[in-house]
């Protein structure tokens, strides 16, 4: 091979090497740029996801607040008075006993189904006016067992005291023994299916401020009632963890 040819070949090899270097370099630059773009896209996507999550969280919080403000979750207890602007329209359920009209169908259905199952529930108290509650409070022997006027669920028209009619002849049917009566057992087992809860459960006196009352049923709506009864908690606890 002549010197000229060798020189030409070397030059060609150098050019090829330079081209290869250029390609490798370009590819490296491309990869770096591509990675940066990917990271940028990922960052934007993460920021968007976080934004959406925050929006959803806020929506859920607002929905919860709205739900808590619904009439059927109204909390009235010894420490929380019934709001002055709580409006109700009462209708008769049976035997002159009236409740909030939004609750009456559910209560009627519960009583009818309890009777159809062979039991004999009997309403002994439902809606009370402020005057009636005041009278009961003024004339009770034990003020600890009677709600202060303005603090009774009976004034809201959302509650009913129901006993087994076989206990109607007892000197006082409103005692713990009521829980053993057949109609009461049925009501305690099924009340949530109609949107009611046993409002003052056993061992929750410190939280509800009211003694165990295996006769006082309170409407909260089916969904809430099922959760409250299945968890064995009281309304105060449910609202707290809502
Ligand atoms: Zn009651």
pLDDT (tens digit per residue) in 42-100: 999 999 999 999 999 999 999 999 999 999 999 999 999 999 899 899 999 999 999 99
Asked if residues 195 and 222 have their Cβ atoms less than 8 Å apart, the reply is yes
90 alpha carbon – ligand 1 mean position (Å): 17
Give the contacts of 178 (CB within 8 A, at least 6 positions apart). 163, 164, 167, 184, 214, 215
| pLDDT at site 20 | 86
155 alpha carbon – ligand 1 mean position (Å): 10
Task: Give the pLDDT band of residue 4 (cuts 50, 70, 90).
Answer: confident
Residues bordering ligand 1, an ion, CB closer than 5 Å: 161, 216
| pLDDT at site 1 | 62
CA distance 161 to 215: 5
Asked if residues 114 and 184 have their Cβ atoms less than 8 Å apart, the reply is no
| pLDDT at site 26 | 81
The domain 71-241 having CATH identifier 3.30.70.3000: the answer here is: no
Asked if residues 114 and 176 have their Cβ atoms less than 8 Å apart, the reply is no
**What pTM does this model have?**
0.82
122 alpha carbon – ligand 1 mean position (Å): 13
pLDDT top residue among 2 and 203: 203
Task: Give the pLDDT band of residue 30 (cuts 50, 70, 90).
Answer: confident
Percent of the chain past pLDDT 70, that is, above it, reads 100
Give domain limits for the chain: 1-68, 71-241
Residue 21, pLDDT > 90, answer no
| pLDDT at site 32 | 87
Tell me the catalytic residues. Answer: 213
160 alpha carbon – ligand 1 mean position (Å): 6
pLDDT (tens digit per residue) in 96-126: 999 999 999 999 999 999 999 999 999 999 9
């Amino acid at each position: 091979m002549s010197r000229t040819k060798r020189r030409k070949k070397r030059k060609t090899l150098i050019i090829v090497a330079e081209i290869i270097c250029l390609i490798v370099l370009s590819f490296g630059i491309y990869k770096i740029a591509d990675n940066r773009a990917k990271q940028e896209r990922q960052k934007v996507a993460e920021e968007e996801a976080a934004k959406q999550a925050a929006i959803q969280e806020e929506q859920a919080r607002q929905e919860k607040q709205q739900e808590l403000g619904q009439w059927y979750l109204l909390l009235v207890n010894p420490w929380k008075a019934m709001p002055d602007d709580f409006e109700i329209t009462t209708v008769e359920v049976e035997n002159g006993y009236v409740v909030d009209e939004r609750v009456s169908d559910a209560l009627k259905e519960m009583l009818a189904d309890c009777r159809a199952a062979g039991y004999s529930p009997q309403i002994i108290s439902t809606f009370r006016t402020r005057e009636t509650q005041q009278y009961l409070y003024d004339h009770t022997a034990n003020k600890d067992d009677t709600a202060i006027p303005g603090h009774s669920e009976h004034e809201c028209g959302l509650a009913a005291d129901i006993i087994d009619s076989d206990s109607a002849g007892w000197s006082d049917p409103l005692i713990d023994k009521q829980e053993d009566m057949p109609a009461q057992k049925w009501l305690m087992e099924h009340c949530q299916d109609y949107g009611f809860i046993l409002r003052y459960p056993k061992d929750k006196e410190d939280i509800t401020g009211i003694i165990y009352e295996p006769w006082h049923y309170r409407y909260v709506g089916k969904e809430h009632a099922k959760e409250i009864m299945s968890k064995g908690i009281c309304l105060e606890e449910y609202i707290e963890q809502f």
